[in-house]
Structure 1
Amino acid sequence: NRADGFASDSVTVLDPAAGTLTFLSEAAKLAVEEFVSRYGEGGKENFIKEHILKNFYAFELMMAPYTVGHLKMSFLLEELGYRLQDDDRFKLYLTNTLEMEELAQTELPGMASLSEESHLAGKVKKEQPVLVILGNPPYSGVSANRGKWIDDLLKKGYTRSDGYKDDGYYQIDRKPLGERNPKWLQDDYVKFVRFAQWKIDQAGEGVLGFITNHGYLDNPTFRGMRQSLLNSFNEIYILDLHGNSLKKEKCPDGSKDENVFDIQQGVAIALFIKKKGEKKDCKVYHSEIWGLREEKKYDWLLKNDIKTTDWRKLSPKSEFYLLVHRDESFLRSYEKYLKITEAFPLNSVGIVTSRDSFVIDSDKEALKRRIRMFRDEKMPDELVKQTFNLKDKSNWKLKVVREKVRKDEHWEDSITKILYRPFDIQWVFYHDNLIERPRKEVMRHMMEENLGLVSVRQVAEGIFNHAFVTDNIIESRVTLSNKGIAFLFPLYLYSDTDKKETGNPNKKRSLGSTMMLFEPKAEYTIKKPNLSPQLVERLTCQYKKTPSPEEIFYYIYAVLYSNIYRTKYAEFLKIDFPKIPFTKDYKLFSKVAEYGKRLVDLHLLKSVELDSPVAKFQGDGDERVEKLRYDGGEKCVYVNRSRYFEGITKEVWEYQIGGYQVCSKWLKDRKGRRLFLDDIKHYCKIVTSLQKTMEIQKVIDNIYPEAEKETIEFENK
């Protein structure tokens, strides 16, 4: 709002991640153009010396772009009519923006000392008010910038110039964020945004303009960041350029969407405006561009500006404070449903082995042979490393681990089943010393007779189909989503007085051999339901009887398989765990639960409905999986030239669970291997299960709308 724009003598500009000064060069050119258009060429040289050289700042960490940046600015100023004098310098400093400590005295041949450079940069960081901060900060999920100052700025907040206490990015609505793994808040671009926000808050007014990774716009981990930005600024303009190949983004019409850069991560341009003295609610405006890079995005960006953009006004609100447009027509009712993390209080992401090819195998005996070789004292460590492609890490040394596994006389008890991918049960050597993240606090309950719901927190692409069931532990990528890994929600929790008498910690007891009482306040000697007291009490009060844990589980499972539910709440299922509508009608609850049980039995491949498979294995010759080919006319999938499964409809072939095309994925994971009799039977059952699943989904959809008419309201934490 300055009359002279960038040419105003009160405007100070900073690029905190300057590179070769691409952004600041354009700002300098614009400032000179604005000055000349108003006041003529006569004072241009003096304007550059008194304004550009004094009020334009830049920070760069790397020596090469720093050097090029100085040369680039020197050439630019000469083009604009100003030759740098001996006592002139452009204020591009060699420094780490995210560190406040200044360097000790160190001389570089032919240059001013690094300590002097660091001192001058430090004065700008700490003392110089900056009204405009712009640039394209680096994106790095694994940040090397771990300094205390920026970490405190992110986590502890600060007091603004107006006296308001900012809570930082790890708080939401004055409470801890509660994220199990908030690592994305450590991304470098987040830290640069935080630095820029802090500088403008200290000045009391200003504009921040960055092009960055667009993940912070809607990812739940960033909700504290979004709230903080909303509290700091008066206006926010978001232009989402999309282009996220990691999310497999496509244009709304299904055509190709490209990134404006040669990167996989989608990006967005954001303008954050802070007006002096104003404390009104932040106004948020959003727009987006889809399509090809050259023909659509570059062309549009060249022809448009903030005034010609078709902005949509947003109203971000608790708990997510989203900076993207969402269809919120069903939000009011959806917010009153029960989140699955509230229904099943104890839950966890799946295990991470960091060495799947060594500790996981579809053949139990093959896995045993590997572990025996690993334990064999006669095999040198180097040979074991080469044979099994095992590498030492900072927290994992092969020599030490081998010794520990050798000492374990009951090592075979650590071999157990694992749900590796949908319908893909394998064997894992579930040993503390060979599993990177064993998630024992949750997975130990799946060592017993149990049911577990598998789902995700977010869905990056496509419609939600990320619900499955297991009676074993799970691997973290049992579902596919680049926005997070699979979560497991066990139905029952077992006491620690588990199997000490048997000496076999991985041998499952049958349900018949356990004691279980199901009353919300009862004492459990062996196991208890992993269901929230709020849920059980509300259902008991409404239904005048207490549903069994299994009934509740089946009901939830059926809802998650309703196509109506998945479509209606698609926008909300993209950003957080599913919320479940519980009908007030017990008869309807029971009916839905019945279909949920059928689905569970089908997906565990335990249903009698699988006794008459719809698919059959045909042809002659080798059963080895080579090149897959689906023939829609024949309703066959060929595993090689002569062998094929018949009876597979196009709908079944394309059916997805957890982001995977099930029929294709299961076979692809066995490429190069021979299909044995059990494999053939298993695949025929998978096909039949999916066929039956689609039939049941249609029935559920016939009664689901009735279940939503009158629902029990819950308070989600």
Structure 2
Amino acid sequence: KQMTLSEEFFRENSEGVMRQKRAPIRVIIGNPPYSAKQGSANDNAQNLAYPILDGRIAETYADKTGATNKNSLYDSYIKAFRWASDRIADNPEGGIVGFISNGTWIDGNAQDGFRACLENEFSDIYVLNLRGNQRTSGELSRKEGGKIFGGGSRTPITITFLVKKPAKVGHKATIHYHDIGDYLTREQKLELVKKFHSVDGRSLDWQIIEPTERHDWVNQRDGVFESLVPMTPDKKFNINSKSFFIVNSRGNETGRDAWIYNSSKSSLERNIDTTITVFNENSGLNKDEIDYDETKISWTSSLLEKAKRGESLLYSDDYSFALYRPFFKQNVYRGVGLTHRRGQFDCFLSGNLTNKFICISGLGGTKDFSCIITDIIPDLNVLNSGTQCFPLYWYEEKKVIERSLFDDDTNNEKYARRDGISDWILKEVRKRFGNSKAITKEYIFYYVYGILHSPQYRERFAADLKKSLPRIPIVDNVEDFMAFYKAGKALAELHLNYEQVPPSPDVESHITDAVFVEPTADEPFGYTQYDHYSVDKMAFPKVRNESGKLVADKSRIIYNSNITIENIPAKAYEYVVNGKSAIEWIMERYALTQDSKSLIINDPNTWSREHSNPTYIYDLLLSVINLSMQTVDIVNSLPKLKL
């Protein structure tokens, strides 16, 4: 046959490759790369494509998954598993694959098909979970323990052995699992691995896992969850959907947060002007001619496609407020072209229209489920793993009118207001409680917010809520329904109006006297009042505990060199949203930062100046301390769920 170019010019190498491919391989051992993708479109260096291998993943792992987003199945280490599994399968005598790899596949939502294939393709599977997931926070992060590879490593690590025995073909694999344990340092973990010595060593106690029908190995889902009513519609805007809501949306995904968000509107306007100018200068150029300087622009695939087509971006004065992180509001640019994925927010919030959104954690998160409500645009990462947002209303241009039974038009000349809550669930709830006309869709909206805060609900369905969007129970009696509604509405009013919550009378502030400076037209409060209340980075003071170790004293917060807040109750830290307390979100986000790539500075103190309120951040911290305690009290008053 005709030789290929590589066979002709690299004959010795090609012959070696062909010998290797023909050789029967029984053992494959490795530490496959964990690279998921390039860092950003600015890298201009896409990962290599392997069409045959990608095809094998498509017809096996991807074909058997129930997840919508399958991108993670094409990560490098998953490709290594697919290649090794196929290479071993060619050997009629069986074999072993041994990998040290990223461990998120054990419990990943999109990896259910991957696990299903492992069950079918191998005889025995041994998984040693070394933990170390540092994409978590707080107590969960401390439980994960030391990072196996140190440095910037953030992913959990597993040691996996896949055993293929020809005699057991056609039988499901026996899955042997061992979790290394909580709170262990890197050194302690490695010492244990050394002591284990072998998969059949006496010091290694394997747990035999029985996978569920949905191929859960650990954190197995509760069968009761499937009997509850889904929050999410089967299809967006289906007014006949048998779900609580007829539409939902992911949060605002800009693809270039440092450019699109800022505490200062004037800084944001300059950033937008810069990036639009640079885009228009590069539009129509060849890929290799484009300026990828990240201090000038942040490219995404959608923006590169626009440039490829030679399009221009037009500046618009379309600015709004957004909830970037819990209780952290920023200015956001909404002009067409610069937001990577806008979701459904053009029909949720347009012009002077108002709305409310229940925001929940997305799928496959590493943090516990949480929710928050807002009346402004929520960012994709307000909550964990791609925030999902459920509106009280959605809006339709009046030229296209398809009214449902319970809809009312607003006075807005351009839009008709439609309900986010389905007609079906309103009828179901009313029927459950004697066809009570007193129950409205707004009652159901706040009822959902109350249920989502229930400790029993979150604990019982913790595993389900990481792998599925919520399903909501309809309680047995109207008294409990009304209790959840009232609690949900109280929580909503508290969380929506978080800036207006008065400070707790028990929390004390120690403030040094400010030196007065005569106000001017530019500085109506005087320079020093702004300076006196400005923040750089809030912190907890350190104290020594009984064992002499320095620990954070969370009863006090050093606001700045002029102000200390004291007597903060421990209860205030019990209100946790997206992995940390609401108080610590304020401390983290209201800090002077500079983006490492764009070098854009985000100074939260500029918000205070542009809103003529020098004490805004100080007042906000005190408000959130009180809000947290009130939230804990309301949650503790919820009825017990009978599930």
* TM-score normalised over the length of structure 2: 0.74
> Is it true that 1:236 corresponds to 2:125 in the alignment?
yes
SS in 2 for 1:316: coil
Q: Which runs of 5+ in 2 are unaligned?
A: 38-45, 234-243, 283-290, 409-414, 515-531, 542-551, 593-603, 609-613
The amino acid of 2:432's aligned partner reads Q
Task: Give the match for residue 445 of structure 2.
Answer: 553
Q: Distance in 2 between matches of 1:681 and 1:419?
A: 18
Do the aligned partners of 1:103 and 1:119 also contact (CA within 8 Å) in 2?
no
Q: Distance in 2 between matches of 1:581 and 1:393?
A: 40
Match among 685, 691, 695 for residue 623 of structure 2: 685
Q: 1:497 to 1:115 in 2, by over 3 A?
A: farther
Match among 141, 148, 153 for residue 259 of structure 1: 148
Q: Distance in 1 between matches of 2:356 and 2:17?
A: 59
The amino acid of 1:453's aligned partner reads I
The amino acid of 2:117's aligned partner reads S
Match among 225, 250, 256 for residue 114 of structure 2: 225
Task: Give the match for residue 147 of structure 1.
Answer: 50
1:234-255 deviation per Cα after TM superposition (whole angstroms, max 9, x unaligned): 3222211222233359899959
> Is it true that 1:390 corresponds to 2:293 in the alignment?
no
Do the aligned partners of 1:451 and 1:491 also contact (CA within 8 Å) in 2?
yes
Q: Distance in 2 between matches of 1:259 and 1:359?
A: 36
Q: 1:583 to 1:104 in 2, by over 3 A?
A: same
> Is it true that 1:354 corresponds to 2:259 in the alignment?
no
> Is it true that 1:323 corresponds to 2:261 in the alignment?
no
Q: Distance in 2 between matches of 1:370 and 1:477?
A: 21
Q: Distance in 1 between matches of 2:126 and 2:263?
A: 52
1:181-231 deviation per Cα after TM superposition (whole angstroms, max 9, x unaligned): 322111111111112222344445433322221111111110111112212
Match among 15, 31, 51 for residue 136 of structure 1: 31
1:435-467 deviation per Cα after TM superposition (whole angstroms, max 9, x unaligned): 22222x355313342221111135755644x21
The offset of 1:551, in angstroms, is 1.8
Q: 1:607 to 1:415 in 2, by over 3 A?
A: closer
Match among 324, 338, 363 for residue 229 of structure 2: 338
Task: Give the match for residue 454 of structure 1.
Answer: 359
Match among 12, 15, 23 for residue 116 of structure 1: 15
Q: 1:202 to 1:400 in 2, by over 3 A?
A: closer
> Is it true that 1:288 corresponds to 2:212 in the alignment?
no
The amino acid of 1:472's aligned partner reads I
Do the aligned partners of 1:415 and 1:427 also contact (CA within 8 Å) in 2?
yes
Q: Which stretch has the larger CA shift, 294-303 or 558-567?
A: 294-303
Task: Give the match for residue 9 of structure 2.
Answer: 107
SS in 1 for 2:97: strand
The amino acid of 2:136's aligned partner reads K
Do the aligned partners of 2:138 and 2:579 also contact (CA within 8 Å) in 1?
no
SS in 2 for 1:426: strand
The amino acid of 2:6's aligned partner reads A
Q: 1:697 to 1:251 in 2, by over 3 A?
A: closer
SS in 1 for 2:111: helix
SS in 2 for 1:427: strand
> Is it true that 1:271 corresponds to 2:207 in the alignment?
no
The offset of 1:388, in angstroms, is 6.4
Match among 485, 489, 494 for residue 386 of structure 2: 485
Task: Give the match for residue 598 of structure 1.
Answer: 490
Match among 614, 624, 635 for residue 697 of structure 1: 635
Q: Which runs of 5+ in 1 are unaligned?
A: 1-100, 157-167, 501-513, 710-717
SS in 2 for 1:116: helix
Task: Give the match for residue 305 of structure 1.
Answer: 198
The amino acid of 1:239's aligned partner reads L
The amino acid of 2:216's aligned partner reads L
Match among 539, 559, 563 for residue 639 of structure 1: 559
Do the aligned partners of 2:108 and 2:364 also contact (CA within 8 Å) in 1?
no
SS in 2 for 1:171: helix
The offset of 1:352, in angstroms, is 2.5
SS in 2 for 1:666: helix
Q: Distance in 2 between matches of 1:650 and 1:304?
A: 44
Q: 1:629 to 1:570 in 2, by over 3 A?
A: same
The amino acid of 2:637's aligned partner reads V
> Is it true that 1:214 corresponds to 2:117 in the alignment?
no
Task: Give the match for residue 563 of structure 1.
Answer: 455
Q: Distance in 2 between matches of 1:344 and 1:606?
A: 26
Task: Give the match for residue 538 of structure 2.
Answer: 628
1:521-549 deviation per Cα after TM superposition (whole angstroms, max 9, x unaligned): xxxx8233334566445434423437422
Count of aligned pairs: 550
Task: Give the match for residue 518 of structure 2.
Answer: none
The offset of 1:498, in angstroms, is 8.0
1:448-505 deviation per Cα after TM superposition (whole angstroms, max 9, x unaligned): 42221111135755644x21011122112212x4xx23222223232244899xxxxx
The amino acid of 2:455's aligned partner reads N
Q: Distance in 1 between matches of 2:300 and 2:554?
A: 51
Do the aligned partners of 1:136 and 1:210 also contact (CA within 8 Å) in 2?
yes
Q: Which has the higher contact order (CA 8 A, sep 6+)?
A: 2
The percent identity for this pair of structures is 23
Q: Distance in 2 between matches of 1:685 and 1:250?
A: 25
SS in 1 for 2:130: strand
Q: Distance in 1 between matches of 2:88 and 2:150?
A: 28
Task: Give the match for residue 81 of structure 2.
Answer: 193
Do the aligned partners of 1:241 and 1:260 also contact (CA within 8 Å) in 2?
no
Do the aligned partners of 2:135 and 2:155 also contact (CA within 8 Å) in 1?
yes
Q: Distance in 2 between matches of 1:374 and 1:292?
A: 44
Q: Distance in 1 between matches of 2:404 and 2:623?
A: 32
SS in 2 for 1:220: coil
